Amino acid sequence: MEVKLRKVALISTVPVLLLIALSARLAIHPGQTWTPVRVELPVSETAFPSGRGVEITPQCLICHSAGMVLRQPPLTREEWAGEINKMRNVFGAPLPADQVDALAGYLYGINGRQDTSRPTATDGQGS
């Protein structure tokens, strides 16, 4: 019973302590104002190579430079699609879902690696 009461006391105390800390911060810096900051990013000299799907790559440039994308390790088509979907679903990249396969195909075409987990005709295990 005593342990349970301590947990309840601690849980109810934490929000109060946070409120006190926030109030103290505001009291120390009353009327604090923010100064705008201007940041100029360097212009990238690297461009995506031509190929089918290159017209979608400006969507990548919203957050990344072409050089950054081109320096990524080679991925399979499925891995590229997974990375693109992660950027869409987790980070909010504004790429329409119907363009994921085309962009994954383009990135695979310029920087892809073969999926070695499946048999291929060249390794003698495929059909």
Give the predicted TM-score (pTM) of the model: 0.60
Residue 72 lies in a domain: yes
The string over 25-49, giving b where at least 16 C-beta atoms fall within 10 Å of a residue's C-beta and e elsewhere, is eeeeeeeeeeeeeeeeeeeeeeebe
How many folded domains does the chain comprise? 1
90 falls within a domain: yes
Lowest mean pLDDT among 8-12, 90-94, 105-109, 115-119: 8-12
78: in domain: yes
Residue 59 lies in a domain: yes
Q: What is the pLDDT of residues 21-54, one digit of tens each?
A: 666 666 666 677 778 888 887 777 889 999 999 9
CATH code (residue 96) = 1.10.760.10
CB atoms within 10 A of CB 81: 18
Does residue 37 sit within a domain?
A: no
Note whether residue 29 is domain-resident: no
* pLDDT over 60 (residue 86): yes
Do the domain assignments include residue 121? no
Q: What is the pLDDT of residue 14?
A: 66
| CA dihedral sign, ordered 108, 114, 120, 124 | positive
Residue 67 in this model has a pLDDT that exceeds 70: yes
Whether 27 is covered by a domain: the verdict is no
pLDDT score recorded for residue 32: 72
pLDDT at 105 over 90: yes
**Which residue range forms the structural domain that includes residue 104?**
54-111
Q: In this structure, what DSSP letter does residue 50 have?
A: P
Select the more confidently predicted residue: 35 or 122. Answer: 35
Both tokens of 36, joined, read 């705008």
